Structure 1
Amino acid sequence: MHSYSATAPRGIRPRLIIADDHRMVAEGIQRILGDDFELLEIESDGNALFEAVCRLSPDLVVTDINMPGTNGLDVLKRLRQQGDRTVFVFLTMHAEPALAASAMRAGASAYVLKNAAGEDLLTAAHQVLAGGTYVTPSLGAHFISSRIQDLQQFTVKQREVLRLVGCGMRSKQIADELKLSVRTVEAHKYVMMQILGVHSTMELVRRSEELGLLL
């Protein structure tokens, strides 16, 4: 995948694919992001989006959820299943916190409402390419509440593992501390990453900090 760094030389812009079945919306996104991003293609359905991501390896995808053919969320899930880690921003009219949580759990980096586009979208795009996540502020409190409900799935042992991971301990050290096998520690970490929709130990720690779990 084409790599992007926040410290890349000036003139090298991250590469962007936009997907929305309403051409005027797609062109609006292009106007918002055009100065900072290199537009590769605009797609109008999910199947074309999937093919374009596989073919062009963009740095960033900004897509609606509802589209003809395969919806944006299913495109993301298919890409993640085959190991693709392209950064996805969902730009949607759907203000349901549960849908935002589902999108982030599936591997999205941002969830932005269309009625909050503009500076919100530009902020989200730069934030996620720097390794962060973004949810439209008006959804924030409800989104966090949805996440906390997910966390009720953590067992006591998983919470203990999470606490030690947050202290910077490696799996072998955690295994020794909790008198578990390294494989069991890794299994606990994997389950927690699945629940929080992240893909690495670093992301697990960062997302847990965002949710106030490691205070």
Structure 2
Amino acid sequence: MLRHDTTRREPVTMSIELALPFAGEWIVRNSPADRVPSHGTTRFASANAIDFVPVGRDQRTAPITWASLLRPQAPEDFPGFGRAIVAPVAGEVVADHDGEPDHAAYRGLPSLGYALTQGRRAAAGWPALAGNHVMIRCDGGVVVMCHLQRDSVAVAVGEPVVTGQHVARCGNSGNSTEPHVHVQAIDRLPVEAAQAVPMTFGGRLPRNGEVVGA
């Protein structure tokens, strides 16, 4: 049986070295290289979380049009929706979930209304924010990947994985305004009792607006 350690700990200073959890080009959003907490809150051990948004050959997400500014968009409109997500580290899968729907994307005016409902999602707890997700226990902590595509998770709890192994696809589930993958590392389970663990990718931490991958 997996036991959760809920004792109080000192802040984590050691970082986990990760590979990028995808192929192709992605743009960095909400990076702890620019501010900590990166998402404006320390709740759910998210202080060092980072968002990667897939882009097309023009290094942009779905084109912004008058229609997209006025009404929600289907996630299928975005070039990275369904793009493969791979394990950024070797370890053991300790949690997986992929039953949540991929909801509409919200930009422009629709994003304002969606923002007003964020408090409700936060009150519902971490699973409502994470949507479909995979957690991998590794040396140094647990790596979490969120907002995955419904029915795309290709690994199961207890399964060992290697770096670069296919685990899921990019989706728009949970607290997400457009298809992307949210990555964070924590020191233990459950998330509600965890502390954030710093991460680096290829020995460094990319900054907001930087395009990474190939």
TM-score when scaled to structure 1? Answer: 0.25
Largest Rg, 1 or 2 = 1
User: Which structure shows the higher strand fraction?
Assistant: 2
User: Which structure shows the higher helix fraction?
Assistant: 1
TM-score when scaled to structure 2? Answer: 0.25
Structure of greater relative contact order (alpha carbons < 8 Å, 6+ residues apart) = 2
